[in-house]
Amino acid sequence: MRTRRASGDARNEPPVLLVKWYDVTKWLLERVDSFPKNQRFIFGQRIADRVLNILEVLVEAAYSPRKADLLAGVNRDIEVLRWLIRMATDRKILTPRQYEHCCMSLNECGRMVGGWSKQAATKERSAGAPPEEPV
């Protein structure tokens, strides 16, 4: 059985990370829809904007030869999202169980972003490095 890499494969299948983030986005948007009206605009809009922005950047990174900078931004956005989710939980907008599920998903995606970012940075460095002179 073949597994796909985080950055996709030759058959133009979407990267595994993109598929996982799509699921995280769907789940979070469903939660935001159920936020109390007065909190939907405070936390809901920021969470929704952040997860959709991450989705857009991951799609861009999947097709860009310069992935490292894009993925660094995704890492920062995931960290901000962690804090927004934590605040929403502390304010009892999300349940502890929802918080736990969300944290597990964010951590998994964060690890995948980190791995993809390291791989992309290594590729970009080796592609930009001048050829070595023979000794």
CATH of region 16-126: 1.20.1440.60
For residue 85, CA distances in Å to 14, 38, 51, 88, 120 come to 27, 16, 11, 5, 29
In the chain, where the domains are located: 16-126
Which DSSP category does 44 fall into?
I
Q: Could you read off the pLDDT of 95-125 as tens digits, one per residue?
A: 999 999 999 999 999 999 999 999 988 887 8
Q: Could you read off the pLDDT of 1-49 as tens digits, one per residue?
A: 444 455 554 457 888 999 999 999 999 999 999 999 999 888 899 999 9
Question: Which of 29-65 are b and which e, b meaning 16 or more Cβ less than 10 Å from the residue's Cβ?
Answer: eebbeebeeeebebbbebbbebbeebbebbeebbeee
Sign of CA dihedral 11, 112, 119, 61: positive
pTM: 0.83
CA distance 25 to 10: 26
